[in-house]
Amino acid sequence: MKTPARVLIKLGGAALKAPETMALAAQTLASYRDMGYQVIVVHGGGPAINQELSRLGITWEFVGGQRVTSARMMEVIESTLCGHVNKHLVRYFGAQGLPVIGLSGADQRTLLCTQASPELGQVGSIQEVNAGWIEEILASPSAPIPLVAPVGVGYKGEAFNINADWSAAYLAAALKVEQLLFITDQVGIMDEEGEIIRHVDSEGLENMIECKTVTGGMLAKVRSVLFALKSGISSVSIMNATDAVAAFPSGNRGTVCTLTPPMIPVLSTSEAEHVAL
């Protein structure tokens, strides 16, 4: 039996603050399901984490778009992402008639990590994706939506904070999705003049990184997009929730990213004649 087409949607934490955005996200998920897609969701939670850390008087910093994470911060991040944000989304989407199962990358060792670097503390670098449990969820008769919080687990059981964009890219590659869609609070990738870039290939993305056109959180996102494209995902889109609804199912809003096509060698006249013969 042929596996249905799959889409993985990453919901940015900042994009989930407004009720109208939540409604648009639910509409996007429902539209893909109505078209026969199996849907997987990875969510962020940066604003909720910031709020809880501030409430507790814990300061933080970002390096290369990733939050430096101490052991105490990891406790707060895990409880916020898994115990608050994830369950809130499960309740909300369930109320919209969407069958959703909440989990984290630590469950069933789905996202197995090692420490990314001593500088970042308990930030995880994904080493293995064990997608068997998610495959079982998707194969259930009702094809529920796995809703994944970006928390990973180490080989000794330690918890790791994982950038949600990277979690989405790795899971998309492991699950062989057809489309990867980043729903953010931004309309897409902007050029140096502040204009939206409608289409860019992997070579263009690499140039943006080299020229520092993208920085901070968008830098981490672009790097994860590059990984996804080079792992076999044919199309990766970055857009806001309004465009996600308007673009369905073509995905031609926001910034659409594709792999740079291989160079086709130009044949000389004599070589062309030989091929023709």
Alpha carbon 9 to its chain's center: 6
pTM of the complete model beyond 0.75: yes
Q: Is 257 left (phi over 0), alpha (psi -120 to 50) or beta?
A: beta
Q: Output DSSP code: residue 113.
A: E
Burial of 206 (0-12, 13-18, 19+ CB in 10 A): middle
pLDDT of residue 262: 66
Q: Would you list the DSSP string of 144-171?
A: -EEEEESEEEETTS-EEE--HHHHHHHH
User: Alpha-carbon distance 241 to 213, whole Å?
Assistant: 24
Question: Residue 1 has what pLDDT?
Answer: 56
CA–chain centroid gap for 12, Å, is 8
Element (H, E) at 128: strand 124-129
What pLDDT does 248 receive? 62
Contact 14, 47 (CB under 8 A): yes
Note the maximum CA span of the chain. Answer: 77
pLDDT at residue number 274: 42
**Residue 192 CB partners (closer than 8 Å, separation 6+):** 213
Per-residue pLDDT for the chain (277 aa), expressed as one digit of tens each? 567 899 999 998 777 878 888 999 999 999 999 999 999 999 999 999 999 999 999 999 988 778 999 999 999 999 999 999 999 999 999 999 999 999 999 999 999 999 999 999 999 999 999 999 999 999 999 889 999 999 999 999 999 999 999 999 999 999 999 999 999 888 899 888 888 999 999 999 999 999 888 887 788 889 999 999 999 999 999 998 888 777 665 556 799 999 987 655 554 545 544 434 4
- Integer Cα distance of 222 and 15 in angstroms: 18
For tokens 């263009």, the residue is 204
Encoded tokens for 176 = 């062989």
DSSP-assigned beta bridge partners for residue 163: none
- CATH architecture entry for 6-276: 3-Layer(aba) Sandwich (3.40)
Write out the DSSP string of 205-258.
HHHHHHTT-S-HHHHHHHHHHHHHHHTT-SEEEEEEHHHHHHHTTTT-SSEEEE
CB atoms within 10 A of CB 79: 13
How many residues are given for the chain?
A: 277
Between CA 167 and CA 251 the distance in angstroms is: 21
